[in-house]
Amino acid sequence: MVVNANVEEMARPAVEDETKNRSEIPTANTVELGNIVSYQAGAVVSRAIVSRKTGTITLFAFDAGQGLSEHTAPFDALVHVLEGKAEIAIDGEPFQLSGGEAILLPANRPHAVRATSRFKMLLVMIRS
């Protein structure tokens, strides 16, 4: 199943009182990013771990064959694959990524994500 990315939600400014966001990781503590989000059969799971007016950091876990349909975002976004394998297309050109690799998704250019195996990624979007 390919889901539509909720780009508007990721691009929406954070709430004024940012300390009330319980899904965020604790400050001044170490965390194992891969353990924060879990795989679910036939699904894409996401969790925003930092949400500010200036940007967001979101973890995703994709089951094999799952993805995000082609969409655009108004800001550049960095995808860092934590584990597994993914195909990320930018303007229709596919890129194969494995754990430890990253790619910059340019603003206002169509891109899509597909899990070629189960994979987890960190998405960093900076609003500018």
Domain annotation covers residue 18: no
Domain annotation covers residue 23: no
Domain annotation covers residue 94: yes
Q: Rounded to two decimals, what is the model's pTM?
A: 0.82
Predicted local distance difference test score (pLDDT) of residue 15:
42
Domain annotation covers residue 75: yes
Q: Where residue 98 sits, what CATH number does that domain have?
A: 2.60.120.10
The answer on pLDDT for 1 being more than 90 is no
Range of the domain at 118: 48-128
The answer on pLDDT for 8 being more than 80 is no
Mean per-residue pLDDT of the chain:
88
The predicted-structure confidence for 40-97, as pLDDT tens digits, reads as follows: 999 999 999 999 999 999 999 999 999 999 999 999 999 999 999 999 999 999 999 9
DSSP characters for the chain?
Answer: -EE---HHHHHSPPPS-GGG-TTSPPTTS---GGGTS---TT-EEEEEEEEETTEEEEEEEE-TT-EEEEE--SS-EEEEEEEEEEEEEETTEEEEEETT-EEEE-TTS-EEEEEEEEEEEEEEEE--
* High-pLDDT (> 90) share of the chain, %: 76
Domain annotation covers residue 13: no
Predicted local distance difference test score (pLDDT) of residue 29:
87
- Write the burial class of residue 120 (CB in 10 Å: 0-12 exposed, 13-18 middle, 19+ buried): buried
Domain annotation covers residue 77: yes
The predicted-structure confidence for 66-75, as pLDDT tens digits, reads as follows: 999 999 999 9
Domains held by the chain: number: 1
Domain annotation covers residue 17: no
Q: What value does the mean pLDDT take over residues 29-49?
A: 95
